[in-house]
């Protein structure tokens, strides 16, 4: 998944990463973009990420506390937005996608690898078992339903790939739909 994200954003100038956590994606993406803003809602996660970044001397990245539901960036600021493994957890996915679309340039890309909790009967069983032990899934997507929700919220899917695993990841790259109105 990290390799796919890195390939998607390689060479982009200004990139926003939402829910960067401790930096699984950040540490690789920062090597292939001009400027990265890595955000998370948790100051503790950003503290760990900042330490990891400092150890690797990455000067082209800044970390910030940010909530995807109310991004404090100007319209059309970013050439790419990454939201890895977060969208299935959001109770207001249309609201989050509206914010992402707002800060993304018209020719920008959205890179959203997302756990496919609904990909098969087996993944649905695994997902529900995880929910019992506290994994807070809001939406159980498969590849088709995830593409549909992106399209219903103003994105045109460019590419979709499935990364196999106990819970597969549907990796979608999309762009803002031209002329799309809410």
**Quick one: tokens of 22?**
């401790």
- pLDDT at residue 70 in the model: 95
Query: Which range is least confidently modeled, 10-19, 33-42, 141-150, 151-160?
Result: 141-150
Among 9-13, 44-48, 117-121, the least confident range: 117-121
> Between these two residues, 156 and 167, which has the higher pLDDT value?
156
Q: In this model, does residue 147 exceed pLDDT 80?
A: yes
The predicted model scores a pTM of: 0.90
**Largest separation between any pair of C-alpha atoms in the chain:** 45
Percent share of the chain, pLDDT over 90: 64
What phi and psi values does residue 56 have, to the nearest 5 degrees?
-105, 10
Token pair of 102, please?
């707002």
Among 34, 13, 38, 15, which residue's Cα sits nearest to residue 26? 38
Q: For residues 132 and 154, which has the higher predicted lDDT (pLDDT)?
A: 154
User: Is the predicted pLDDT of residue 122 greater than 80, yes or no?
Assistant: no
- Residue 100 pLDDT grade (very low, low, confident, very high; cuts 50, 70, 90): very high
Query: Nearest 10 degrees: CA dihedral of 127, 128, 132, 134?
Result: 30
């Amino acid at each position: 998944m990290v390799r796919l994200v890195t390939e998607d954003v390689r060479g982009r100038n200004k990139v926003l990463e939402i829910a960067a956590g401790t930096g699984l994606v950040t540490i690789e993406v920062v090597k292939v973009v001009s400027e990265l803003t890595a955000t998370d809602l948790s100051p503790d996660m950003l503290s760990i990420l900042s330490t990891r970044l400092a150890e690797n001397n990455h000067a082209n990245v800044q970390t910030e506390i940010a909530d995807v539901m109310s991004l404090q960036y100007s319209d059309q600021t970013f050439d790419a937005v990454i939201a890895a493994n977060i969208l299935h957890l959001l109770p207001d996915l249309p609201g989050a996608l509206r914010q992402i679309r707002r800060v993304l340039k018209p020719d920008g890309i959205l890179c959203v690898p997302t756990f496919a909790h609904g990909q098969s009967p087996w993944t649905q069983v695994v997902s529900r078992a995880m929910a019992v032990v506290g994994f807070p899934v809001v939406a159980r997507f498969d590849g088709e339903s995830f593409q549909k929700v992106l399209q219903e919220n103003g994105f045109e899917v460019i590419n979709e790939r499935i990364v196999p695993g106990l819970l597969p990841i549907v990796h979608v790259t999309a762009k803002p739909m031209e002329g799309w109105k809410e």
